[in-house]
A = this chain, B = another copy of it.
C-alpha cells in the first residue's frame, strides 16, 4: 500500500474531493507510470522489437502524462480547475491509446497484458476523478 491515502488524511487544509477516490487515482497514476516505463523496456528486449515501436512510444508518452498528472493532482489547491481537467482528459486519452496497443500484443507478450491492465485501471480512475470534480 502506498502513502497517498495517509497523506490525504493528514492534509492540513481541506479539499472537496473524496480522499479514497483521490488516493486511488494517485495510486493508479503512479502504478501506470511505472508499468509503462517497465513495459517499454520489456518491448526493447523482444526479438520482434521492430513490431513493438508503436507500443514503446505510447508507453513513453503514457508514462510522461501520468507523471505530470500525478504531480498536479497531488497538489490539492486547484487554482485552475481547467488545467486539472484538461490534463486528466489527456491522461484518459493516452491511457486508452496505450492500453489498446498493449492489448494487441497481450497474447504474445504477457508483460503487455500487465501494462494494458495498468492503463485500463488508470484510465478509469482519471474518468472517476473527472466525474467527481464536476
Q: Which residues of A are in contact with B by a Cβ distance under 8 Å?
A: 2-4, 6-8, 10-13, 26, 30-31, 33-35, 37-42, 44-46, 49-50, 53-54, 56-58, 60-61, 64-65, 67-72, 74-77, 79-80, 82-83, 86-87, 89-90, 93-94, 97, 101, 109-111, 113-115, 117-118
Is the CB–CB distance between B93 and A80 below 8 Å? Answer: yes
Distance in angstroms from A60 CB to nearest chain B CB is 7
Instruction: Choose among B3, B49, B70, B115 the residue that contacts A118 (Cβ–Cβ < 8 A).
Output: B3
Q: Could you name 13 residue pairs across A and B whose Cβ atoms are closer than 8 Å?
A: A2-B31, A3-B118, A7-B42, A7-B115, A11-B42, A11-B45, A12-B109, A26-B38, A34-B74, A65-B83, A79-B97, A80-B97, A83-B93
